[in-house]
Structure 1
Amino acid sequence: MTSQQTITFLRRMLRIARTEIAAVSALFIVALGVMTFVEVADDVTGTEGQAFDQAVLTWMQPAPGDPRGPWWLKEAAADLTSLGGISVLTLFALIAIAFLLIQRKRLSALLLVLGLAGGVALSEGLKDLFSRQRPPSDFQAVDTLNASFPSGHALLSTVFYLTLGVMLTRAFPRTHLKAFVLGAAMLIALLIGLTRVYLGAHWASDVFAGWCAGAAWAMALWLVAYAIGRRQAVRDKGLHDEVLPPEPMADTPPAVIGE
């Protein structure tokens, strides 16, 4: 390849990156999430990774079973952590799916179902694969069920709230509103993950791995929706999101001269 061909190729790639910045960013998040998860999974079996997890847990709970901070902080953490539970996420998902179907957003509804169902399968499969023990029961301020790595609450909350946030950005034309919705979705997932460590339900690396896997899965689903949307723009066939006509404007009475 000559220098001129190289320059032409780089210019073409730059033009594609500019026009497809959202897709490129999503693909980057998928790759980064997968690579980081693999790195964390490798570290949890090592001495340094276990020492880090133990140090974080000990700082969060100087006395086992008594999280750091005032009593109301523990109550707030218990409330927030339930937002990542499967029961709460299923309820929110049913409401969101019903709303999307009413709006004739059939593709978005299907992707939300696949996102949550796939997230549950991914979480349970990885837990069975690694079979990591949770923190000692003396540190656990909430009830736990299965293996520790990765955190199911962190993974599923990232998948659901991030996917829902990305879908909601389509309803807002302004960039700062899109950023607010995405920021709120990420904040909820962040808080849920932190409460799992604070309450002694997970090691810190469990939560970090859950965030990485959840973000990668959510962005992979978005890429699928993006590709289908691009295809539907050319061929109006198959499952897609319909655009509803705007609501008719109410008739305005004519102005009276002299008002």
Structure 2
Amino acid sequence: MKDNAGSLFNRIEFPVLLAGLVIAGGLWGFVELMEVARATAPHGFDTEILLAFRQPGQPGVPIGPSWLEGAMRDITSLGSTSVLALVTTATIIYLLLIRRRGTALLILVAVAGGEVLSSLLKVGVDRPRPELVSHLVNETSLSFPSGHAMLSAVTYLTLGSLAARFLPGRTAKVYVLFLAVLTTVLVGVSRIYLGVHWPSDVLAGWCAGFAWAMLCWLVARLLQWRQAVSDDA
């Protein structure tokens, strides 16, 4: 039993260490960005990046061809509550149908917990939306952290990491995880392009989202490891 437990520990030691580093880095980054959000005046990099997405001297006109604004609206919807709820519900129902209740519960806790955490953080920091440029979509909630960026990270990274476990070959696994990260990044960039978030809001959303997703994955991995040791015993 001890040999089996040691073998299992050696197999998960590096992934667990990596997850711990991601969690620590995400928390550190979020705390640093929270200081930026609470400052009385916008940080220089916030204003410079936000203005970089606008025509010089025209804060109401975004850069790029006319179709790019519509594309960014479509991309940002991938991080909306309705789309993420639809994707999450469909995945949970499928997992229940194939009798993977534990995995379904993990996804529910990760996504629902991320939604609650995002709302609490917004209220705690109480940062208004940027007024430096015009908003290309209507938003009424608080700005920090970006809920779209955070919940995209939580949802797509959780689903991507779970899907990768069932795919054959390293290439397929890397591809799925790459798509999850790419979608998360594009959603965050779209929020800045549309003028509804400061860049620090999006960075903080990514930090919190990555940390929360890794924490949920780490808890699930450790529970799986304990179950495997128990089965061996």
Quick check: 1:162–1:182 contact (8 Å CA) kept in 2? yes
Q: Choose which of 188, 191, 196 in structure 2 pairs with 1:193.
A: 188
In 2, are the aligned partners of 1:148 and 1:202 still within 8 Å (CA)? Answer: yes
Which residue of 2 is the match for residue 117 of structure 1?
A: 112
SS at match of 2:61: coil
CA separation in 1, counterparts of 2:16 and 2:168?
A: 18
Give the secondary-structure state (helix, strand or coil) at the position aligned to 2:143.
coil
Equivalent residue number for residue 149 of structure 1: 144
Q: What is the alpha-carbon distance in structure 2 between the residues aligned to residue 173 and residue 21 of structure 1?
A: 21
Amino acid at match of 2:100: K
**Secondary structure of the structure 2 residue equivalent to 1:66:** strand
CA root-mean-square deviation:
1.9
Question: Could you say which residue in structure 2 is the equivalent of 1:233?
Answer: 228
Which one has the largest radius of gyration?
A: 1
The 5-angstrom pairing of residues 24-103 of structure 1 reads 24-46=17-39, 50-62=43-55, 63-103=58-98
Conserved 8 A contact 2:154-2:212: yes
Alpha carbons of 1:111 and 1:19: their partners in 2 closer, same or farther (altered >3 Å)?
closer
Note if 1:106 corresponds to 2:71.
no
Q: Is the 8 A contact 1:158 1:211 kept in 2?
A: yes
Distance (whole Å) between structure 1 residues aligned to residue 10 and residue 34 of structure 2: 31
5+ long unaligned stretches in structure 1? 1-15, 237-259
CA contact (8 A) 1:36 1:212 kept: yes
- CA-CA distance at 1:65 after TM superposition: 2.7
Unaligned runs of 5+ in 2: 1-8
Identity %: 45
Q: Aligned with 1:84: secondary structure?
A: coil
Q: Residues 98 and 67 of structure 1: is their aligned pair in 2 closer, same or farther, counting only changes over 3 Å? A: same
Give the conservation status (yes or no) of the 8 Å contact 1:61–1:139. no
1:147–1:47 distance in 2 versus 1, CA, 3 Å = closer
1:164 and 1:47, CA in 2 relative to 1: closer, same or farther beyond 3 A?
same
The alignment status of 1:206 with 2:206, answered yes or no, reads: no
1:17–1:24 Cα contact (<8 Å) kept: no
Paired AA for residue 43 in structure 2: Q
Residue 138 of structure 1 deviates from its aligned partner by: 5.1
Read off the aligned partner of 1:23 and give its amino acid letter: V
Match of 1:20 in 2: 13
Q: Quick one: which amino acid aligns to residue 132 of structure 1?
A: R
TM-score for both structures, normalised by structure 2: 0.90
Tell me the secondary structure at the aligned position of residue 197 of structure 2. coil
Of structures 1 and 2, the one scoring higher in RCO (CA 8 A, sep 6+) is 2
C-alpha distance in 1, partners of 2:95/2:189? 30
